[in-house]
Amino acid sequence: MSEKNKVKFGLSNVHVAKITKGENGAITYGTPFKIPGAVNLSLDAEGDNEPFYADNMKYYESYANNGYSGELEIAKIPDEFLKEILGQTIDSAGGVLETINDVISPFAFMYQIEGDETGTRFCYYNTTVSRPSTEASTTEDTKTPNTDTLSITTSAREDNGQVRYKLALSDTNKTEYDAFFDEVPEPKEASV
């Protein structure tokens, strides 16, 4: 089914779900939680193409899908993300402690982009992030908020090779669309 949207704009509903790997390599996802304050997302496709020449022409070309990499800019990184994904500790006073022993967890990364007809929801199944930089600036004539930027990299799930799933609202998928952020979506059987 083709999408109804002619254009896309806006970014909202950013969610993440922590990945846990079992002893047998099975992947399970935690319950997605929202990261409010999405400002900007920029993801570039990773992977190269390799042409093969024969008969004096490009005879065959192979492509590698190595996922995506880029940046997510948000208003402020929530403490839940610092704890669940960056592995930092929240003490009884509400302070957040970062140590050299923190273990960054992979996660599913989900969000929504609006269109002229309906929103489209995306899920990247295996995402990693690096620790964010810290920036602050003085207040001048106006109060312009500072933002936080996360460098993110997505790749294929180790158990089945899935990289990304997108779902635009249609007449036949309202139930799946409405439940998209309740748990990490698993694709339905492919239609012919």
Predicted local confidence at residue 142, as pLDDT: 81
Predicted local confidence at residue 43, as pLDDT: 93
Supply the pTM of this predicted model. Answer: 0.86
Residue 111 lies in a domain: yes
Three-class DSSP labels, the chain: CCCCCCCEEEEEEEEEEEEEECCCCCEEECCCEECCCEEEEEEEECCCEEEEEECCEEEEEEECCCCEEEEEEECCCCHHHHHHCCCCEECCCCCEECCCCCCCCCEEEEEEEEECCCCEEEEEEEEEECCCCCCCCCCCCCCCCCCEEEEEEEECCCCCCCCEEEEECCCCCHHHHHCCCCCCCCCCCCCC
Residue 50 lies in a domain: no
How many domains in the chain?
1
Read off the pLDDT of residues 97-117 as tens digits, 9 standing for 90 and up: 999 999 999 999 999 998 777
Predicted local confidence at residue 126, as pLDDT: 96
Residue 57 lies in a domain: no
> How many CB atoms are located within 10 Å of the residue 79 CB?
13
Query: Mean pLDDT for the chain?
Result: 89
Predicted local confidence at residue 191, as pLDDT: 57
Three-class DSSP labels, 32-86: CEECCCEEEEEEEECCCEEEEEECCEEEEEEECCCCEEEEEEECCCCHHHHHHCC
Residue 106 lies in a domain: yes
What residues of the chain score a pLDDT lower than 50? 1, 192
Residue 112 lies in a domain: yes
Residue 1 lies in a domain: no
Predicted local confidence at residue 104, as pLDDT: 95
Residue 54 lies in a domain: no
Predicted local confidence at residue 10, as pLDDT: 87
Structural domain of residue 104, as residue ranges?
8-45+66-178
Torsion of CA 81, 173, 164, 12, to 10 degrees: -40
Residue 60 lies in a domain: no
Read off the pLDDT of residues 68-98 as tens digits, 9 standing for 90 and up: 999 999 999 999 999 999 999 999 999 999 9
